[in-house]
């Protein structure tokens, strides 16, 4: 439809004199916030890293998937936005709660229903991918002893981490306390980019301190350095533009600190506490029909933290009995 519009001469807002005309006062903080919100749409590249142990030949397929998907998604999104501005002005884009639906109503007539259905399918696909990958974070964290070991259980037949999926569901419901989607995007975007930056900074530090460790996937250091510069601009000016929203996101992240000290750092817990956790684990195991994965198997679980493995042994032996 965008190509048809351009061929019909409907490209007023694509002409340089109109496309770069400021209809509101430029603000570097708002520009950074716009990048933060816009980058949310491109965040899928990171999710595949969560399931590398479930990929076939990840050293080859992981970079290949990222190299193919990012240019493809960028191409689709850029040209979708080009299509939007052939039918709507920037003011109409800002005023619309669902740009694709408004676009369909303007151009598709009686077939406008195609757009909301397409948006719903796209949303379903995004949620499906997010659930599949995000639950593996809790699964891996529990396997390393950073979260309750119940989250490291998998279904006896389907081998899916059901407790981790349910925990993801509860966490998601808590986020829905606010109905403002832009606030949620700012929360998630700010926290995500904070961790992205720390992770990439860690990559540079490891390259400097441990240059000889095996690196099956290796890139030039110029790319993480450029990313860190952009990352600093994004976070500093986003925090300056929306200090309350970004500060709230930071506070949400810091709630993990007391949980870490109570659950991981505090080693000598009372016996009643340990018994309660064991009882909760057994009840959850029976309700979800889940067991701990084979520690000695070939699925990648052989890297389980030794302390976590010791915690599993009493429960595993009870299951066998």
Contacts with 240 (C-beta within 8 Å, 6 or more apart), sequence order = 29, 32
Per-residue model confidence as pLDDT tens digits over 30-76 = 788 788 777 777 777 777 778 887 788 888 888 888 888 888 888 98
Taking Cα atoms as reference points, which of 46, 48, 45, 67 lies closest to residue 56?
A: 48
- By DSSP bridging, strand 290-291 and strand 154-155 are antiparallel
Whether residue 232 has pLDDT greater than 50 = yes
Long-range contacts of 95-104 (CB under 8 A, 24+ apart): 103/1
* pLDDT at residue number 41: 76
Percent of the chain with pLDDT over 70: 91
Decide: helix, strand or coil at residue 101.
Answer: helix
Distance CA 258, CA 264 (A): 10
Q: How confident is the model at residue 310 (pLDDT cuts 50, 70, 90)?
A: very low
> What φ, ψ does residue 291 adopt, rounded to 5°?
-135, 170
Per-residue model confidence as pLDDT tens digits over 127-184 = 888 888 888 888 888 888 888 888 888 888 888 888 988 988 888 888 777 667 777 7
* pLDDT at residue number 173: 83
Q: What is residue 302's DSSP assignment?
A: G
Percent of the chain with pLDDT over 90: 2
Q: How confident is the model at residue 295 (pLDDT cuts 50, 70, 90)?
A: low
Distance CA 137, CA 224 (A): 23
Contacts with 134 (C-beta within 8 Å, 6 or more apart), sequence order = 47, 50, 168
pTM of the model: 0.67
């Amino acid at each position: 439809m965008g190509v048809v519009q351009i061929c019909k001469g409907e490209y007023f807002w694509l002409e340089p004199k109109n496309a770069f005309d400021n209809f509101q006062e430029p603000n570097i903080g708002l520009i950074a916030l716009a990048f933060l919100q816009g980058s949310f749409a491109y965040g899928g590249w990171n999710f595949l890293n969560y399931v590398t142990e479930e990929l076939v030949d990840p050293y080859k397929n992981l970079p290949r998937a990222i190299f193919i998907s990012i240019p493809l998604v960028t191409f689709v999104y850029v040209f979708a936005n080009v299509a939007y501005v052939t039918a709507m002005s920037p003011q109409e884009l800002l005023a619309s709660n669902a740009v694709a639906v408004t676009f369909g109503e303007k151009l598709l007539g009686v077939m406008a229903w195609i757009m909301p259905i397409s948006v719903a399918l796209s949303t379903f696909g995004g949620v499906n991918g997010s659930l599949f990958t995000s639950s593996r974070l809790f699964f891996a964290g529990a396997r390393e002893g950073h979260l309750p070991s119940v989250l490291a259980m998998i279904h006896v037949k389907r081998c899916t981490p059901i407790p981790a999926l349910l925990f993801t569901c509860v966490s998601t419901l808590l986020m829905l306390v606010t109905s403002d989607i832009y606030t949620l995007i700012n929360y998630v975007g700010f926290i995500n980019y904070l961790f992205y930056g720390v992770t990439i900074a860690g990559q540079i530090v490891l390259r400097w301190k441990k240059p000889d460790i095996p690196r099956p996937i290796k890139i030039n250091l110029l790319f993480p350095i450029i990313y860190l510069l952009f990352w600093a601009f994004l976070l500093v000016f986003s925090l300056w533009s929306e200090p309350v929203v970004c500060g709230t996101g930071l506070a949400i992240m810091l709630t993990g600190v007391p949980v870490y000290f109570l659950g991981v750092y505090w080693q000598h817990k009372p016996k009643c506490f340990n018994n309660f956790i064991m009882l909760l684990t057994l009840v959850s195991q029976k309700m979800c029909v889940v067991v701990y994965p084979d520690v000695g198997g070939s699925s990648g679980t052989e890297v389980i933290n030794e302390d976590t493995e010791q915690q599993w042994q009493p429960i595993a032996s009870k299951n066998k009995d």
